[in-house]
């Protein structure tokens, strides 16, 4: 008897608590018929218990027939069906769901709700559902002025907010996002497929994947993606979207709150920049090819000039004329070899001067130096030089070596010419030395010496010589950086 009394007291207490809680609660059977309601819910909806208990949910609370955008029944049914099928609570975004006025005159009153639908399980089977609502009408209406300001700021900054519920496959769109999608300006819940259908077909799977990847993640996990919208008029817009996963309580099914930024103008600028860069690269490639062809033709033309000079030198017989023609041919060959290296290496602006110097010294050793028994030693630094520095330096080496062979080493049984380059404090230092006698005291300056001085001046370089104690030495210091 005492146990029965305690059970009765517990039931009375439970009923008292049910009626006293500050939010509205309906208890529904699995077919969404109302089987119980607390007093707060009756007060919120201005109904009586006999108006609701035993009545189907959507007969008691139909959509407002005077509102063509009303979607409260559809959205609430989808949420209840989700909670029933999954056995897990489902939280809804704020819903506009007008309530019928049951007094004289009838009609509907505009109301906004924050619903949570929770299944009651017995042995793994849903035996009932709790429909828990919080009336947020006053708060929603109070925030309308703020929402207008926010929408103005969104339009100014191409921003829009939306809410995606993967459980019911619905999206709550703000007015700004509706406009961004090319839809009528209104807030409300729309089927997600309608929204996703507006996304570019190539981007749609990536957007779905971004949500699916995080749907089981903890609350506040971020999601981000970029995609295109294809509007009804055929125009394409680019959106960059960032959002967070939220749950209204620990066990509730997840939804995503997302903000999207229209980045079409930025994307168009990127595409134009990419096109410009492609055009630039194509033009540069054409320029490189043309310069390579120019170097090739210059090399061929100079070779022809050198051949003509050599032919004239042979016909001139021995004497000063022949010597001058051979010298001219040698200078032309020095310039020719630079253009040949530019062409062979596919470099149109710079010369690998170490490789070039070795080749030049090899040609000299095979020519006059070899005939006169002179050894040429080459010790170059590995450096790349622009053609406008490489050509004058090539001519300088050619003149110094030729002068040494013909004058400084005349009569020396084992003549040695050393050609070396090094890098010092941003300068290229060229040193040409030999074990000869150097310039004869009081001798008149020849053409070769004049050419060297002119080339040194052209390079903005400095020239110094050492008297031949053991070796005659010429040092030329060439600044590599523009002064």
For the chain, which residues make up each domain, given as ranges? 19-135, 143-262, 375-483
pLDDT at 232 (0 to 100): 86
- Which residue do the tokens 């009528």 mark? 184
The backbone torsions φ and ψ at residue 373, rounded to the nearest 5 degrees and listed phi first, read: 70, 30
At residue 31, the 3 state secondary structure works out as coil
* pLDDT value of residue 53: 94
The DSSP secondary structure of 442-471, one letter per residue, reads TPPP-HHHHHHHHHHHHHT-EEEEE--SS-
Contact (CB, 8 A) for 160 and 177: yes
DSSP code for 53: T
- Using CA atoms, how far apart are residues 7 and 50, in angstroms rounded to an integer? 26
In this prediction, residue 353 carries a pLDDT of 84
In CATH terms, is domain 143-262 a member of 1.10.1060.10?
A: no
**Taking phi first (over 0 means left), then psi (-120 to 50 degrees means alpha), and beta for anything else, what does residue 201 get?**
alpha
Residue 172 to residue 91: CA distance in whole angstroms: 13
User: Per residue of the chain (483 residues), what is the pLDDT tens digit?
Assistant: 555 555 556 666 777 788 788 889 999 999 999 999 999 999 999 999 999 999 999 999 999 999 888 899 999 999 999 999 999 999 998 889 999 988 788 899 989 999 999 999 999 999 999 999 999 988 887 766 555 555 555 554 567 888 999 999 999 998 888 888 888 888 889 999 999 999 999 999 999 999 999 988 888 888 999 999 998 888 999 999 998 898 876 667 888 988 888 888 888 888 888 888 888 878 777 766 766 666 566 656 656 665 666 566 566 766 667 666 666 666 666 666 666 655 565 666 777 888 888 888 887 777 766 667 788 888 988 888 887 888 888 888 888 887 787 777 777 788 888 999 999 888 899 998 888 776 655 555 667 778 888 888 888 889 888 766 667 888 999 898 764
Cβ(176)–Cβ(163) under 8 Å?
no
Label residue 11 exposed, middle or buried (CB < 10 Å: 0-12, 13-18, 19+). Answer: exposed
Instruction: Estimate the crossing angle of helix 387-403 against helix 447-459, to 10 degrees.
Output: 150
> Packing angle between helix 320-344 and helix 387-403, nearest 10 degrees?
150
Residue pair 376/369 in contact (Cβ under 8 Å)? The answer is yes
For 11-39, how does the pLDDT look when each residue is reduced to its tens digit (9 = 90+)?
667 777 887 888 899 999 999 999 999 99
List, in order, residues 6 or more apart from 331 with CB less than 8 Å away.
Answer: 395, 398, 399, 451
Question: Class for domain 19-135, per CATH?
Answer: alpha beta
Site of tokens 């010294």: 361
Can you give the pLDDT at residue 55? 95
Q: What count of other Cβ atoms lies within 10 Å of the Cβ of residue 274?
A: 10
Q: What is the pLDDT of residue 20?
A: 80
- Overall residue count recorded for the chain in this entry: 483
| Calpha distance 474→483 (Å, rounded) | 24
What tokens does 351 get? Answer: 């010369």
CA distance 48 to 46: 7
Q: Does domain 375-483 have CATH number 3.30.565.10?
A: yes
Name the phi and psi angles at 381, rounded to 5: -80, 150
Q: How many other β-carbons are positioned within 10 Å of the β-carbon of residue 327? A: 21
CA dist 104 and 2 (Å) reads 50
Which has the closest alpha carbon to 472: 442, 436, 444, 447? 436
Measured CA distances, 357 to 364, 382, 473 (Å): 11, 10, 18
Is 436:408 a contact under the CB 8 Å cutoff?
yes
- Spatial separation of the C-alpha atoms in residues 309 and 303, rounded to whole Å: 10
Tell me if domain 19-135 and domain 375-483 are identical in fold: no
- Residue range 223-263, pLDDT digits in tens: 999 999 998 888 999 999 998 898 876 667 888 988 888 88
């Amino acid at each position: 008897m005492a146990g029965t009394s305690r059970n009765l007291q517990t039931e009375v207490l439970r009923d008292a608590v049910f009626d006293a809680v500050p939010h509205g609660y309906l208890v529904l059977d699995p077919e969404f018929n109302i089987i119980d309601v607390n007093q707060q819910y009756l007060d919120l909806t201005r109904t009586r218990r006999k108006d609701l208990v035993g009545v189907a949910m959507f007969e008691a609370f139909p959509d407002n027939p005077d509102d063509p955008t009303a979607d409260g029944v559809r959205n609430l049914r989808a949420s209840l069906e989700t909670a029933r099928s999954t056995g897990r609570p489902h939280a809804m975004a704020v819903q506009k769901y007008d309530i019928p006025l049951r007094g004289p005159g009838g009609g509907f009153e505009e109301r906004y709700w924050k619903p949570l639908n929770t299944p009651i399980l017995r042995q793994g089977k849903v035996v009932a559902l709790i429909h828990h609502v919080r009336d947020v009408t006053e708060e929603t209406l109070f925030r309308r002025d703020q929402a207008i300001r926010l929408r103005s700021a969104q339009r100014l900054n191409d921003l829009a907010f939306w809410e995606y519920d993967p459980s019911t496959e619905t999206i709550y769109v703000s007015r700004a996002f509706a406009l961004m999608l090319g839809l009528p300006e209104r807030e409300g819940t729309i089927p997600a497929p309608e929204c996703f259908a507006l996304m570019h077909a190539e981007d749609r799977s990536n957007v779905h994947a971004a949500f699916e990847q995080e749907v089981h993640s903890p609350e506040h996990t971020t999601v981000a993606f970029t995609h295109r919208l294809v509007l009804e008029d055929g125009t394409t817009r680019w959106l960059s979207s960032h959002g967070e996963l939220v749950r209204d309580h620990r066990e509730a099914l997840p939804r995503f709150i997302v903000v999207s930024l229209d980045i079409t103008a930025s994307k168009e600028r990127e595409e134009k920049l990419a096109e410009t860069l492609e055009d630039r690269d194509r033009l540069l490639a054409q320029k490189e090819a043309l310069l390579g062809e120019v170097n090739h033709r210059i090399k061929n033309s100079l070779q022809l000039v050198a051949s003509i000079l050599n032919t004239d030198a042979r016909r001139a017989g021995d004497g000063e004329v022949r010597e001058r023609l051979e010298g001219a041919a040698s200078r032309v060959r020095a310039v020719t070899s630079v253009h040949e290296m530019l062409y062979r290496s596919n470099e149109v602006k710079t010369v690998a001067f170490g490789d070039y110097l070795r080749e030049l010294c090899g040609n000299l050793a095979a020519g006059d130096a070899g005939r006169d028994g002179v050894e040429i030693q080459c010790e170059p630094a590995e450096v790349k030089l622009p053609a406008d520095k490489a050509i004058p330096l090539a001519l300088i080496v050619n003149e110094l070596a030729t002068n040494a062979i013909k004058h400084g080493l005349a009569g020396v049984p084992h003549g040695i010419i050393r050609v070396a380059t090094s890098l010092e404090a941003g300068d290229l230092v060229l040193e040409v030395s030999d074990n000869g006698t150097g310039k004869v005291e009081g001798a008149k300056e020849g053409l070769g010496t004049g050419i060297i001085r002119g080339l040194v001046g052209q390079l903005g370089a400095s020239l110094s010589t050492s008297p031949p104690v053991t070796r005659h030495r010429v040092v030329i210091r060439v600044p590599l950086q523009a002064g």
